[in-house]
Structures are given as structure tokens and as C-alpha cells.
Amino acid sequence: MTDAINLADKLATFSDTFSPRTVAQFNDCDVMVVKVQGPFVWHKHDDTDDFFLVLQGHLTIELRDRKVELGPGELFVVPKGEEHRPVAKEEVHLLLIEPSGTPNTGDVATAAPRRVI
Amino acid sequence: MTDAINLADKLATFSDTFSPRTVAQFNDCDVMVVKVQGPFVWHKHDDTDDFFLVLQGHLTIELRDRKVELGPGELFVVPKGEEHRPVAKEEVHLLLIEPSGTPNTGDVATAAPRRVI
């Protein structure tokens, strides 16, 4: 069991991008923080929605038919099965929630390893 | 499908306390914002963890064996089945995540109705 989890403190413990860290678990899901910068890969998750909350910076989530722009305190849930590509012009800090074991790239062959901090 | 969800904008649309508003869905869960002030009731959820992220203010989550103090940008997940009581000395704004239909009091007889905004 853990007590209060300070997201900024957790984010201060690492500097690499596109490598989520699990900071808590909620039912079968990992609650993660991640730093992103630049474009990620186009991908989708056939079995789960994909939760994004911006903590710092500005993120564009490109979908095939439009772009969703997110600033601090704004969230978006990418629907299950929908192709998307997060793009960050500058470094962005995010809170992510996905079922534990979900590959961040949509493909276990290229996914970042699960890291718990 | 919804686009960017600004949590502060959603919170500005209501003033009542202990009455969560659903602002998004993530798989089988409601993503909610809520304002709380004062003590809530002691309760537990036998079937789900309980996700709290403080957006504004300071919240104490009393557990039977200790208290968890949360400020802005801090989260805590109350484990399934664990009795807890949120207490806010001043108004606090929270992001909550629970499976849709989870009674906020732990009891359908006293739960706040589900409201989507």
C-alpha cells in the first residue's frame, strides 16, 4: 500500500521520454506518468481506451480525422481501437491510465518495458 | 466522442458538493470531477479501488489506521474494501475514477445520482 503520490516528485526522478513509469495501480490498470517530446508512433489499442491528462506543456493527439489539442488540466480518452499519434513540440508531462500490460506502442515487440517507481 | 475536456471549465459549471459529475468514460469507468467540503461519510467499495487526484485545495483521506494528506497534483488510490472518509477543511476539487455505477457513499440507497456534463 502506498500513501500520497506526488506526480511532480515522481516526474523529477527521470528524464527519458516515451518511457512511462507506473506510480499506482487502480483495479487492473496502471496509473503512469510519462514525459514526451516530439512525435510518437501511430498506433491503436484494440482492447482498451487510452486515458491522457496533461500535467505540464501542450500535447497534440492526432487522430485520423482531426487533432485534439490539450493543455495543463485537460484530458482526452482515445476510444478503443482508434488510431492516434501523440505529438509534443516541447516536453510534455502526462498522467496516463491503461490496463496493466498494455503496450504503449500498441505492439508488444516495440513497447517500453513496465517500470514501477 | 468528445474532444479536449478542460477540468477547470467543467468544475466551473456547478457549485454543489459531494455530487460528482462524469466528464468522460474510460473503459467501464466514469472519470468524474467533484467539489467536496467538510467531512464525507465513512464508507468502502467492496468491488473496486477508489481513485482520487487533487486538482485544487487540500484533502485528508482518513483510513481506519492513518490519514493520507493530499495537495494539488497528488493522488491516492484507496484499496478495494478499505474503509475511508474524505475530509476537506476548505473546498477541494478532485478528479475521481470509479467503475460506472459505483455508489459514491458505498451504498446505492444514499448515493448521489450519476450526472454527465
* A27/B7 touch (CB, cutoff 8 Å), yes or no: no
Give the nearest partner residue to B74 out of A6, A51, A79, using CB atoms: A6
Low-confidence ranges of chain B (pLDDT < 70): 1-2
Which residues of A fall within a CB distance of 8 Å from B74? 4-7
- A:21-80 residues touching chain B, CB 8 A cutoff: 23-27, 31, 48-49, 51, 53, 55, 66, 68-70, 73-77, 79-80
Quote the CA–CA distance of A3 and A5 in Å, as a whole number.
Answer: 6
SS (H, E, C) B36-89: EEEECCCECCCCCCEEEEEEECCEEEEECCCEEEECCCEEEEECCCCCEEEEEE
Q: For residues A101-106, give the mean pLDDT.
A: 90
Share the mean pLDDT of chain B.
95
The three cell numbers of residue B45 are: 467499495
Cα distance from B109 to chain A (closest Cα, Å)? 24
* A80/B1 touch (CB, cutoff 8 Å), yes or no: no
The strand pair at A21-26 and A59-63 is best described as unpaired
Cα distance from A109 to chain B (closest Cα, Å)? 24
> Would you state the pLDDT for residue B1?
46
Q: Which of B50, B1, B47, B44 is nearest to B25 (CA)?
A: B1
Share the mean pLDDT of chain A.
95
Of chain A, the percentage scoring pLDDT greater than 90 comes to 87
